[in-house]
Structure 1
Amino acid sequence: MTTIAVLGNGRVGGNLAAALTRAGHEVTVADRTPGAAADAARRARIVINATPGAGSLERLAALRDELRGTLLVDVSNATTDGPDGLPADLLYPGSSLAEQLQEALPETHVVKTLNTMLFPVMTNPAMLTRTPTVFLSGEDLGAKQTVRELLTDLGWHHEWITDLGGIRTARATEAAILFVPHVIRSSGFVPFAISITR
């Protein structure tokens, strides 16, 4: 059992919290208010950033002391939205939210994952008709191994997990968010994920 704090109580955060609780972890969910987030982060071994990506950097940078020595799992994408509310462009072109977080939180192990799919797939990858892929980006091998174990708790098979390398590789997976509005407009809000087939 691991002590986990999920920052963000929307669809993504609630879905992850429920699944990780079912898997036997001790999970606390905090909303975006500074006091609640700081308290939850202070008591957790692993913190999951499920806050809206456009404000994540400011929120988490304010928790630098609470996140020191912690594993931060970042599942958010930082975008600007179009008139229809769907992602229109990247907030950090030439970089990524994960890179910005790692720079702002040098004593925290940031691992990017679960950001290339609609949220129901995060905790039920077998719901898709074909095998999905989940990616890992981060500098610390031990932190990525811990995230691998969490992913298996969420139903991801080891062979579905691809380690892309350092945190800089997160800019590639974060750019995949630009597919999302076009897929939704084409096919509706139907669960999907990126899959690497070989």
Structure 2
Amino acid sequence: MRISVLGSGIVGRTLAARLVELRHRVVIGSRDPGQPHISRWVRAAGELARSGTYAEAARSASIVVNATAGTATVDALRAAGEAELAGKVLIDVANPVSDPAADPPLMRTGERSLGEEIQALFPHTRVVKALNTVSPSVMVNPKRVPGGHVAFLAGDSRQAKTMVTGLLREFGWPADAIVDLGDITGARSMEMLFPLRQRLSRSLGHTNFNLGVLHA
């Protein structure tokens, strides 16, 4: 499958590397794809990986992963282009943090989640919120955390969520660990978990943790 990852930070590179391991063709998109750290990543990743602008990355894929910083997401997706994103599944793993340096993190306030905003701005793109509640290493390898823990997802398109579920299964998430929170408004509750994740990381001293759901 051809998958593009927008964002060349630790989240984007971690996801892209795992996708290449799974033998997907991956384009990592950036404002400046010629940056040295991106070039080094592409060389290390091998023949299934390449880099490009946001628009070039979006054009080449059937699934696009938004791994940009929440403060840069809208600009990055506009640079990718509405036409290039139309008809495609967009997995949004970003969190709407307005000040990443703040502790606790300052979240952007508003009536809509970032996932909802993306869906409203790009109505012909099938947006699925997923994986934003865990660290990059757990996103791609849930076995780093023992016991029963979950990956949430939310989106308006059932078909898109089925595709994303398949990708999560490839990452190693068991079927019963993938919890569908319904339409894209479910992204609100998912994004609200980010401050808790950050505080837990500080308290525990590491990021190999997640939340579980116990029910009768």
TM normalised by structure 1 equals 0.93
- 2:171 maps to what in 1? 154
> 1:184 maps to which residue?
201
Correspondence 1:31-180 to 2 at 5 A: 31-33=30-32, 36-62=53-79, 63-81=81-99, 84-86=101-103, 88-180=105-197
Report the counterpart of residue 3 of structure 2 in structure 1. 4
**Aligned AA (1:23):** L
Aligned residues: 196
Which one-letter code corresponds to 1:21 in the other structure?
V
Is contact 1:94–1:171 with CA below 8 Å preserved after alignment? no
Deviating beyond 3 angstroms after TM superposition, the runs of 4 or more aligned structure 1 residues are 32-35, 84-87
State which drifts further: 6-15 or 61-70: 61-70
How far, CA to CA, are the matches of 1:169 and 1:53 in structure 2? 17
| Per-residue Cα deviation, 1:6-31 (whole angstroms, up to 9, x for no partner) | 01111111111111111121111122
* Residues 87 and 109 of structure 1: CA distance in aligned 2, closer, same or farther (over 3 Å): farther
Between stretches 115-124 and 88-97, larger displacement belongs to: 88-97
Moved more, 105-114 or 15-24: 15-24
Query: Which sections of structure 1, spanning at least 5 residues, go unmatched?
Result: none
In the other structure, the counterpart of 2:36 is none
1:10-21 to structure 2, matched below 5 A, reads: 10-21=9-20
CA distance in 2, matches of 1:169, 1:90: 17
Q: CA 1:175–1:163 in 2, change beyond 3 Å: closer, same or farther?
A: same
Hey, what does 2:24 align to over in structure 1?
25
- 1:107-163 Cα shifts (integer Å, max 9, x gaps): 000000001111110011011122220011000000000000000111111010011
Shift of 1:86: 4.8
Q: Which amino acid is the alignment partner of residue 195 of structure 1? A: G
Tell me if structure 1 keeps the 8 A contact 2:152–2:178. yes
Cα distance change of structure 1 residues 102 and 57 upon mapping to structure 2, 3 Å threshold = same
One-letter amino acid of the structure 2 residue matched with residue 114 of structure 1: L
Describe the SS at the equivalent of 2:53.
helix
Amino acid aligned to 2:18: A
User: Secondary structure, in 3 states, of the residue corresponding to 1:132?
Assistant: coil
Q: What are structure 2's unaligned runs of at least 5 residues?
A: 34-51
TM-score (norm: length of structure 2): 0.85
CA contact (8 A) 1:61 1:104 kept: no
Instruction: Give 2:173's aligned amino acid.
Output: W
Identity %: 39
Maintained 8 Å contact 1:80/1:87: no
Q: Is 1:195 paired with 2:212?
A: yes
Amino acid at match of 2:194: I
Q: 1:196 aligns to what SS in structure 2?
A: coil
CA distance in 2, matches of 1:111, 1:121: 18
